[in-house]
Chain A
Amino acid sequence: MASNTLQKPVLAIRGLRLAFGDRRHPTPVLHGISMHIRPGEKVALVGESGSGKSVTARLAMGLLQDQKRVHVSGSIFFDGIDAAKGGPEIARRRGNRVAMIFQDPTSALNPTFKIRGQFRDVLRSGDRSISNDEADLRAEAALAEVSIPDPKRALDSYAFQLSGGMNQRVMIAMALANRPQLLIADEPGTALDVTVQAQTLNLMHELTEKTGTSVLLISHNLGVVREFADRVYVIYRGRIVEHGTTAQLFNDPRHPYTRALLAAIPKISGGGLPDLPERSPEFESPLIVHEGCGEPTEAFA
């Protein structure tokens, strides 16, 4: 990782603010968060539901900005553009420069189309002129890569005919099919059972290592984060409260909120993050950044 810090970040978010609602009475959701991801790095954004981690991921992909009553300021540097305002530039990069894996793979695949058609459209967002035959060949290869035993049959299936684990593999194959620079995984496989979840996380780990894809992992599961991520941002009510390498953060949690989180992990399973029953004023204390983890200062755009 030390060598990584010299490389230009793939994604750099600066002072990102988000509010919903009409202009006179906006409800603030993000209060100016900053984070970055370097090439090949796996970074986790951890927080409770409602903390703002999912909207951060969606803003990074430009998925929220065109909706009404959404107010964004700050910047999101990605692939030579500022995506904070959304628009066609980031839209063009979706599916090929940046891709996303969803919480429940089965509901993220369209129930009225076969996998084949959807896979073709995924490949088309990387290469507009690809023929159907060529797309099918590449799709089969991509499915074989995620160890799907009979790719042809999977392509001719509907999502509801496949198991959740299978669909998760299909999603991973789709996400990496166009070799994106950045993969955003939003609570991947939370809807699946624990073994399948672990398998697909391993698979994702393996493939992104191979392709050198950076990963932004959105999660509330500290066990998964510890296994998977190189670096961790902890988010609480729209603010980053602590930032450090995985080792620093788990061995030496310094922010009261992070400490409370870690203390609340069920000892045996090390699984999900229970919603903390109370809000403590301490949780609002300022951001703590561990050694060597400062935000980069170079200019991006």
Chain B
Amino acid sequence: MSEPGSPVLASRTRSKAWTAYSADPLSVIGLVIVVAIVGLAIFAPFVTPYPDHVGPTGDFAAMNAAPSADFWFGTDVIGRDLFTRIIYGYRLSLIMAIVVLAIATPIGVIVGLVAGYKGGWTDYILMRITDVFLAVPPLVLAMAIMGFLEPTLLNGMLAITAMWWPWYARLIYNVTRAEAQEGYVLAAETVGASTAHILFREILPNCWPSILTKMTLDIGFVILMASSLSFLGLGVQPPTPDLGSMVADGAKYMPDAWWLTVFPAIAILLVVLGFNLVGDGLREAFEAES
């Protein structure tokens, strides 16, 4: 349409981004979910009713109890409070997601930047390696890596990290390819700026919105992937509380002890949903800002 939009106030872009973010009720709901889950996870020892149920022992007097005022989400076969274990499961999942992304993102970003800016053989080799990783269903690759490692928390993170970086490489590669043609990059080249300067000082700042959006979405998806692995028995081992293994263990007692499956399952759904809504909201806020 040829009509002009409302005037853009350059100095107020921050609040404009927040306005755009808060305009969508779904984004706000997402933020509430995320803040609630992260808050519960951080303060787990103080907010959970039975912090000692994290370990292998529970309350034998209350085995397989249905949800009640004492045990909000019920208890498992050895009498451990499910609510407590789910909150601790969140704690573990969040730590895992943060560690995975803290390693995978820089690797992927550097590969993407270098391949996209250097071009030629560097580009060809790096991106073909990336393609190889992207050509296997993510879960299968992570499973295969777990196949050669002991199923521990650390190895689970390693397996997920190994399959996660290529997605960042691919994303940043595309952005870099486009940005490398922009005037400001050519200008920096003309004045003889070093490659490192151009990559990290000129191009990288323009990638931040894409990276941040993707990382937010990915916290949810890493948790999803980790819980899938542990659901298959290839992740964290008992008695550590893990959402995926809780669902797998609970499924053995369906349908009578339905809460053993349903609550951890909904817990996974909720955390992925929350980060997804926040990520979508962020993307729109960034778009509104630019």
Q: Answer whether A and B touch in the complex at a CB cut-off of 8 Å.
A: yes
Instruction: Please report A residues at the B interface, Cβ cutoff 8 Å.
Output: 20-21, 27, 29, 49-50, 52-55
Q: B6 and A52: CB pair below 8 A?
A: no
Q: Does B256 contact A (CB under 8 A)?
A: no
In B1-35, the 8 Å CB interface with A consists of: 1-6
6 nearest A-B residue pairs (beta carbon): A49-B2, A54-B2, A50-B4, A29-B3, A50-B2, A27-B6
Residues in chain A near residue B1, CB distance under 8 A: 54-55
Residues in chain B near residue A55, CB distance under 8 A: 1-3
Q: What are 17 A-B contacts with C-beta separation under 8 Å?
A: A20-B3, A21-B6, A27-B5, A27-B6, A29-B3, A49-B2, A50-B2, A50-B3, A50-B4, A52-B3, A53-B2, A54-B1, A54-B2, A54-B3, A55-B1, A55-B2, A55-B3
How far apart are A99's CB and chain B's nearest CB, in angstroms? 20
> CA A29 – CA B1 in complex, angstroms?
12
How far apart are B22's CB and chain A's nearest CB, in angstroms? 15
> CA A49 – CA B4 in complex, angstroms?
9
> CA A20 – CA B6 in complex, angstroms?
10
Residues in chain A near residue B2, CB distance under 8 A: 49-50, 53-55
Number of A-B residue pairs with CB-CB distance less than 8 Å in the complex they form: 17
How many interface residues does B have (CB within 8 Å)?
A: 6
Residues in chain A near residue B5, CB distance under 8 A: 27
> CA A238 – CA B98 in complex, angstroms?
53
How far apart are B67's CB and chain A's nearest CB, in angstroms? 43
How far apart are B273's CB and chain A's nearest CB, in angstroms? 26
How far apart are A86's CB and chain B's nearest CB, in angstroms? 16
List 15 extra interface pairs beyond A20-B3, A55-B3, CB under 8 A.
Answer: A21-B6, A27-B5, A27-B6, A29-B3, A49-B2, A50-B2, A50-B3, A50-B4, A52-B3, A53-B2, A54-B1, A54-B2, A54-B3, A55-B1, A55-B2
Most buried by A among B1, B2, B6: B2
Contact code string B133-169 (vs A, CB < 8 Å = 1, else 0): 0000000000000000000000000000000000000
Chain B residue with the shortest CB-CB distance to A237: B4
How far apart are A6's CB and chain B's nearest CB, in angstroms? 35
Residues in chain A near residue B3, CB distance under 8 A: 20, 29, 50, 52, 54-55
Chain A residue with the shortest CB-CB distance to B5: A27
Residues in chain B near residue A20, CB distance under 8 A: 3
Residues in chain B near residue A52, CB distance under 8 A: 3
Residues in chain B near residue A49, CB distance under 8 A: 2
Chain A residue with the shortest CB-CB distance to B6: A27
How far apart are A144's CB and chain B's nearest CB, in angstroms? 35
Residues in chain B near residue A50, CB distance under 8 A: 2-4
Chain B residue with the shortest CB-CB distance to A54: B2
> CA A54 – CA B3 in complex, angstroms?
8
> CA A52 – CA B144 in complex, angstroms?
61
Chain B residue with the shortest CB-CB distance to A103: B2
> CA A288 – CA B3 in complex, angstroms?
24
Chain B residue with the shortest CB-CB distance to A55: B3
Residues in chain B near residue A21, CB distance under 8 A: 6
How far apart are A203's CB and chain B's nearest CB, in angstroms? 25
Contact code string B96-119 (vs A, CB < 8 Å = 1, else 0): 000000000000000000000000
> CA A21 – CA B5 in complex, angstroms?
10
> CA A29 – CA B4 in complex, angstroms?
9
How far apart are B84's CB and chain A's nearest CB, in angstroms? 46
Residues in chain B near residue A53, CB distance under 8 A: 2
How far apart are B9's CB and chain A's nearest CB, in angstroms? 14
How far apart are B34's CB and chain A's nearest CB, in angstroms? 28
> CA A184 – CA B238 in complex, angstroms?
73
Residues in chain B near residue A27, CB distance under 8 A: 5-6
Chain B residue with the shortest CB-CB distance to A25: B6
How far apart are A26's CB and chain B's nearest CB, in angstroms? 10
How far apart are B11's CB and chain A's nearest CB, in angstroms? 19
In B65-86, the 8 Å CB interface with A consists of: none
How far apart are A282's CB and chain B's nearest CB, in angstroms? 21
Chain A residue with the shortest CB-CB distance to B4: A50
> CA A27 – CA B2 in complex, angstroms?
14
> CA A124 – CA B5 in complex, angstroms?
37
In B199-251, the 8 Å CB interface with A consists of: none
How far apart are A94's CB and chain B's nearest CB, in angstroms? 18
Residues in chain A near residue B4, CB distance under 8 A: 50
> CA A284 – CA B14 in complex, angstroms?
35
